[in-house]
Structure 1
Amino acid sequence: MEKRHWYVVVTYIIMQFSSILGVPLLVSLGIDNREVAVAYWLIFSFFTGLVVILLLLRQDMMVRHHEERSTIPVAIFWAFFGVFLALFAQGIAATIENRVFGIEFGSENTDFLVEIALTTPLFIVVTSIIGPILEEIIFRKILFGTLYKRYNFFIAALLSSVIFAMVHMDFTHLLIYSAMGFTFAFLYVKTNRIIVPIIAHVAMNTFVVLVQVVFKDEIEKYQEQVESMQAMIHFIWTRFM
């Protein structure tokens, strides 16, 4: 791994853990609502981290023009199709988790982020734009890119995707995050343009977050109806079958 890439990784790690000190600091400065303090700090830290990382990657931005990459029309196609590919991979992984391992649909991590977005709408910029950009730079361009130089696609994608999944701290849904990692790694290799998985990731996150925020009440009602129906079926089965 290049020295500047190590600096990028360190910057990302510092950014991730900065809330340990940053959030209490904002609370001490008068922000009583902790969720609002978390949102403001994450907006600040992610934006700052993105600026620093882009500055560190200036050399990479210059070098990329000399690499063999897909044409712009092909890149646009895969960026657009990649959104559906990522959603499909996520759906398949969620179904496997539910049918094979009995893991319920839904993610506590996503629910937490949605709650923050509801209190501070500007936070959607972090979950939908800045976060995906940083994750694609770290986990696809740097981590996967480094591993892909030594190993085949499957091994490089597997290792980088599992680490990508673990960083989200939602260990119940490791399979879902890993499936997404595989998809974005495929898009990167297919086009040799990091902007392609970035666009797909941004679009997917934006879609998921907006659906969760805009249709939050309807989703909760649907979940309650499903739970009631399941309870009724269980009652009938245990009593009369």
Structure 2
Amino acid sequence: MEKRYWWIIFIYFAMQFSGILAKPILTALDIPRTEWAGLWGTYSFALALILILILLRPDIRDRHQRGGRVSRGSAVLWAIGGIFMAYAAQIIAITIESKIFGVPTGSQNTKDLVEITKHTPYFMVVAALIGPILEEIVFRKILFGRLYGRFGFFLAALISSLVFAAVHMDFSHLLIYSAIGFTFAYLYVKTKRLLVPIIAHMSMNSLVLLVQFVFADQIREYEKQMDTMQFIFGGFLS
């Protein structure tokens, strides 16, 4: 693997663990504790993206020389279709987790992101845009891309998806992350354009955040109604 790819991986994981350095710095700057995650996350993700894009300049410059890429028009269609494919895969994975394995619905990672964004709204740029770009570069282009040539699609997608889930520290939803990872890997293989899974990934994250903020009250009311219905029917059946 090219040396610059190793540097990209190092920068990405250094960014992930850079929060260890945040506490003394933000304390010295007298930043409110509720803003720490959003402020540090925004600056660290943005800096990581800049550095990684600089390292990817040879790939960006030579992208037109690689064969097998779909046309721009087809890429747009794949990106739109990929959004629905990713949501379908997620719904199927959620259904399997909840109905067969009894895993509670709802992601702690998503809840954490929403909570951070409430305190620092500008962090939404990271969650919806910068994060997906970095993740697709690291997990699809580099990790999956290197493994794909050696082990084939299934094993490469499985390994990259498991690492993808591990980074999000959401091990109870491995199936969901794997389903999403397989979908994005498939989009990348079929189109040979990294921008396609990036767009699908950004769209998913953006919609989740939009729903959580715009329809938060309606969601809480719906959850209350469902709890009430379960209590009523539970009383009848007990």
The 1:123/1:2 distance shift into structure 2, 3 A limit, reads same
What aligned pairs does 1:174-193 form with structure 2 within 5 A after superposition? 174-193=174-193
- Between the aligned partners of 1:105 and 1:71, the Cα distance in structure 2 is 38
The Cα of 1:70 is off from its aligned counterpart by 0.6
- Between the aligned partners of 2:171 and 2:132, the Cα distance in structure 1 is 19
1:30 partner amino acid: D
The Cα of 1:166 is off from its aligned counterpart by 1.2
The Cα of 1:35 is off from its aligned counterpart by 2.8
Q: Say if 1:127 and 1:205, in contact at 8 Å, map to a contact too.
A: yes
What aligned pairs does 1:80-91 form with structure 2 within 5 A after superposition? 80-91=80-91
State the partner residue of 2:61: 62
Instruction: Quote the sequence identity (%).
Output: 54
Q: Say if 1:35 and 1:119, in contact at 8 Å, map to a contact too.
A: yes
Q: Say if 1:162 and 1:174, in contact at 8 Å, map to a contact too.
A: yes
Task: List 4+ stretches of structure 1 deviating above 3 A.
Answer: none
1:99 partner amino acid: K
Q: Say if 1:23 and 1:38, in contact at 8 Å, map to a contact too.
A: no
- Between the aligned partners of 1:223 and 1:25, the Cα distance in structure 2 is 40
Deviations 1:182-234 (A, max 9, x none): 00000000100001100110111101111111111111111111112112211
Structure 2 unmatched ranges of 5 or more: none
- Between the aligned partners of 1:93 and 1:27, the Cα distance in structure 2 is 41
Deviates more, 1:59-68 or 1:119-128: 59-68
State the partner residue of 1:110: 110
TM-score by length of 2: 0.97
- Between the aligned partners of 1:200 and 1:157, the Cα distance in structure 2 is 17
State the partner residue of 1:224: 224
Deviations 1:169-194 (A, max 9, x none): 01111111111000000000010000
Q: Say if 1:23 and 1:41, in contact at 8 Å, map to a contact too.
A: no
Deviations 1:81-100 (A, max 9, x none): 11111111111100100000
- Between the aligned partners of 2:29 and 2:43, the Cα distance in structure 1 is 15
